[in-house]
């Protein structure tokens, strides 16, 4: 029996009003980065984690303004806490899949297809079949794990702006990993929240709803984006030089 976690979320201040939040007890493969951004009139939350433990309660001290919760895409490791927030946004292509939520949401290694096992074995948490090394609550059981369905309050499209008063993020539609994957781009600072379109680790373009053709176009678009820092959906953040290297590596790997 797993012990109950003292604390489910960790966080780190990243500068420019950005706080990185993550779930240390999850297997890294299903542990997404959650980003909180402070604005003058409103806050932005990029992705919401697994939903294993309430997120809103855990970040209540960070949030003093209305908060726009944006999911970069439909995959379960990014949308678990979305239902907790008053303003819920996602690309219009994936918004309907949030209610009812019927996507794959494995919490055991044995639930994944064999081809995923090598990634899961990169687990440093010591967990075996369960993809966590602590329970989120005393009465939690793996069999009950589900993503709470929710209706979006705003359906995003490429070029939309999420305005926080003194700062604004542009929605970039970045299909490939999934059809409605998006990034959020702040031209003034060069901060780019990229979701699972690009991060510094193995990229997935072979999932049931992935498209390599779309991914190639997304990567070519990203290559010219004048970023200062990329805060991805997984793995540590990186700068423009590394982004271009990841793009070029992807393009080469797919013969483009
Ligand atoms: Zn994903």
* β-strands 18-22, 34-38 pairing: antiparallel
Gap from CA of 75 to ligand 1 centroid (Å):
5
Any idea what the Cα angle at residue 210 is, between residues 204 and 211, rounded to 5°? Answer: 110
Kindly give the distance from the C-alpha atom of residue 73 to the centroid of ligand 1, in angstroms, as a whole number: 7
Determine the distance from the C-alpha atom of residue 251 to the mean position of all C-alpha atoms in its chain, rounded to a whole number: 23
Taking the centre of ligand 1 as the mean of its atom positions, its distance from the CA of residue 15, in whole angstroms, is 26
CA of 30 to the centre of ligand 1 (A): 9
Q: What are the residue ranges spanned by the domains of the chain?
A: 10-253
- CATH code, residues 10-253: 3.60.15.10
Average pLDDT over residues 111-126: 74
- pLDDT > 90 in the chain, percent: 89
Separation of CA 40 and ligand 1 centre (Å): 30
CA 132 to ligand 1 centroid distance, Å:
18
Per-residue pLDDT tens digits for 180-239: 999 999 999 999 999 999 999 999 999 999 999 999 999 999 999 999 999 999 999 999
Q: How far is the CA of 2 from the centre of ligand 1 (A)?
A: 27
CA 193 – ligand 1 centroid, Å: 14
Task: Look up the pTM and report it.
Answer: 0.96
Looking only at the bridges linking them, the beta strands covering 154-156 and 87-91 are parallel
Distance (Å) from CA 56 to ligand 1 centroid: 22
Which are the contacts of 100, defined by CB distance < 8 A and separation ≥ 6? 149
Range scoring the smallest mean pLDDT among 113-122, 237-246, 247-256: 113-122
User: Under a CB-based contact definition with an 8 Å cutoff, are residues 204 and 210 in contact?
Assistant: yes
Mean pLDDT computed over 99-128 = 82
CA of 195 to the centre of ligand 1 (A): 8
Question: Measured in angstroms, how far is the CA atom of residue 204 from the centroid of ligand 1?
Answer: 8
pLDDT of residue 122: 53
Q: Is the pLDDT of residue 125 over 70?
A: no
Q: Tell me how far the alpha carbon of residue 22 lies from the centroid of ligand 1, in angstroms.
A: 15
Would you give the DSSP letter of residue 149? P
């Amino acid at each position: 029996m797993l012990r109950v976690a003292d604390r489910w979320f960790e966080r780190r201040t990243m500068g420019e009003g950005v706080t990185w939040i993550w779930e240390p007890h999850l297997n890294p493969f299903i542990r997404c980065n959650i980003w909180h951004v402070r604005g003058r009139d409103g806050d932005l939350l990029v992705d919401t984690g697994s939903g294993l433990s309430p997120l809103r309660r855990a970040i209540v001290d960070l949030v003093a303004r209305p908060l726009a919760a944006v999911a970069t895409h439909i995959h379960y490791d990014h949308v678990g806490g979305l239902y907790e927030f008053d303003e819920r946004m996602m690309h219009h292509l994936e918004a309907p899949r949030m209610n009812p939520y019927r996507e794959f949401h494995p919490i055991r290694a044995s639930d994944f297809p064999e081809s995923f096992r090598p990634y899961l074995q990169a687990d440093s948490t010591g967990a075996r079949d369960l993809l966590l090394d602590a329970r989120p609550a005393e009465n939690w059981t793996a069999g009950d794990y589900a993503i709470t369905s929710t209706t979006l309050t705003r359906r995003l499209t490429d070029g939309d702006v999420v305005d926080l008063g003194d700062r604004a993020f542009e929605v970039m539609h970045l299909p490939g990993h999934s059809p409605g994957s998006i990034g959020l781009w702040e031209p003034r600072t060069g901060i780019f929240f990229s979701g699972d379109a690009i991060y510094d680790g193995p990229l997935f373009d072979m999932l049931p709803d992935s498209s390599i053709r779309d991914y190639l176009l997304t990567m070519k678009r990203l290559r010219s984006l004048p970023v200062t820092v990329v805060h991805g959906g997984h793995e540590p953040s990186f700068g423009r030089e590394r982004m271009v290297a990841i793009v070029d590596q992807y393009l080469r790997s797919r013969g483009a």
